[in-house]
Amino acid sequence: MSREHRITRRQAVTAAGAAGAVYLAGPALFRALDGTAVAATTCAKLTPELTEGPYWVNTMLHRADVRANSHGGGHQTGVPLALTINVVDSSKDCQPVNGLAVDIWHANAHGLYSDESSQQAGGGTSGGDTIADNWLRGYQITGEDRGIRSKPVRGQVSFKTIWPGWYTGRAIHIHVRVRKLSQHGATIAGYTTQIFFSDADNDHVLTDATPYNSRSPQKDPTTDENDTVLSSADDATNIVKVRGTIGHGYAATFNISVDTAEIEAKGSLGRPHTGAGGGPGAPPAQ
């Protein structure tokens, strides 16, 4: 498949509403966002399950602003990203699903994850021991937590974070876990997927924004097209559009489609993974 054809197809499916975006200029980026959930234009296709990777940690950090350590310090610098995630039920006409925990975790601007004793990100990044940190990790409950809005929205969670950095062997991404929790916090059911951004948007941030552009090389050759986890069949569901600027920050909305049987299931969901691998220093997916 040619590069030109891939971009054209990606633009077409995104324009159809597979992943929407909201832009709030300047300091308003992280202010309250009143309104209703952004429903997917169609949710007939379940959002694919993609690998959790080696850096999932069940921190149980119930928070919307994930940019710093929960115990203070460690504030991660980078381009602000206001991330909204909607969870809808494909078996019930895309109705919002409340009461689900949605976790996010991703690398910082230098390609490192928190809460890890060792990792190799590449691009001149050192200091892979982040075991004492828990930045860029957290969860919210759909329909119950207001996140970065003024009040809860049905089927929705939202977070204050930053644009992720790259690490060797993977396109830039954010991990997302959707799970049903017991009253004691144990996972009853759930699955994991990943959010991706267009190569053009990633290149813009990595080239023109600090501290991303301080790395050498500024970007890894792994693009969406040659990522070991994202397949071309998943572009429509897992690549999001963004609105905003480097100076003011970006906002994006990711829509996740599940079905009633999965929500009520016990244990891991039965979907096959469409990819594998996923962390700094991890072997290529097979």
- The DSSP bridge pattern shows strands 101-105 and 173-181 to be antiparallel
* Helix H or strand E encompassing 269: none
Report the candidate in 100, 102, 114, 112 with the shortest Cα–Cα distance to residue 70: 114
Render pLDDT for 202-216 as a digit per residue (tens, 0 to 9): 999 999 999 999 999
pLDDT at 186: 75
The DSSP output letter for 26 is G
Question: pLDDT tens digits, residue range 62-108?
Answer: 999 999 999 999 999 999 999 999 999 988 888 999 999 999 999 99
pLDDT at position 280: 61
Residues 6+ apart with CB under 8 A from 160: 30, 64, 65, 66, 67, 80, 81, 82, 148
DSSP state of 133: -
Q: Cα(187)–Cα(179) distance, rounded to whole angstroms?
A: 6
Q: Considering the chain, what percentage of its residues have pLDDT values greater than 90?
A: 64
Q: Label the pairing between strands 249-258 and 80-89.
A: parallel
pLDDT digits (tens, 9 = 90+) for 2-44: 333 333 323 332 333 333 333 333 445 554 333 444 444 567 7
Residue 279 has a pLDDT of 57
What local confidence, expressed as pLDDT, does residue 270 receive? 43
- Delineate the domains of the chain, giving CATH numbers in brackets: 3-268 (2.60.130.10)
Tell me the whole-structure pTM to 2 decimals: 0.84
Predicted local confidence at residue 71, as pLDDT? 96
